[in-house]
Amino acid sequence: MEVPKINILDESNKLLHQVSKDVEFPLSEEDKKRIQDMQDYLECSQIEEISQKYNLRAGMGLAYPQLGILKRIFVVVNAREDGTFEKHVVINPKILSFSEEMIYVGEGEGCLSVNRPVEGIVPRHARVTVKAYDVDGNEYQIRVREEIAVAFQHEIDHLDGILFVDRINKEFPFKDADKMREL
């Protein structure tokens, strides 16, 4: 598999702190190709031989704002134990509901736009139900949990101009960790 050429903005870019606009359908062929490239890039980043060969940081999600495009589109690609990938294309997402249970990623959340180590926890809902559209403009609902729920919330934040580092308590980076479940 060839790694698509994707230019991911760094956290210092002001575009990452702007709110994205809803997408109109039908999608352009350019958008469809970009979405496929994003999925391929994330898949390559999670395959050890490819990520080492091309010096890629492993990523699970990527949002349009990270590419400098303020449209409400993101993809999530998650490696399964059997070597296949669970893939989600999410356009114009709206969170319909979420669990009261809060979780956080024990080793810390990461982001392909944040190229530095970050201490602290990011409180996330353990489960979320999202309404969105696929590449063909078909509406769907999905309930995601655990790591995928974290990824969806992280990427929806990108669409709203929020980086995960913005969600870490500046004075007490591990505040309320005892009230949440660690992933």
The distance in angstroms from the start CA to the end CA of the chain is 31
Task: Provide Rg for the chain, Cα atoms.
Answer: 16
Q: Are 124 and 104 contacting, i.e. CB atoms less than 8 angstroms apart?
A: yes
Q: Are 95 and 158 contacting, i.e. CB atoms less than 8 angstroms apart?
A: no
Catalytic residue among 147, 155, 171, 182: 155
Catalytic annotation present for 48: no
Residues 6+ apart with CB under 8 A from 146: 103, 126, 183
Half-sphere exposure of 179 toward its Cβ, with a 13 Å CA cutoff? 8
- Residue reference for tokens 């353990």: 126
Closest CA to 64 of 115, 26, 8: 8
Which positions are catalytic? 155
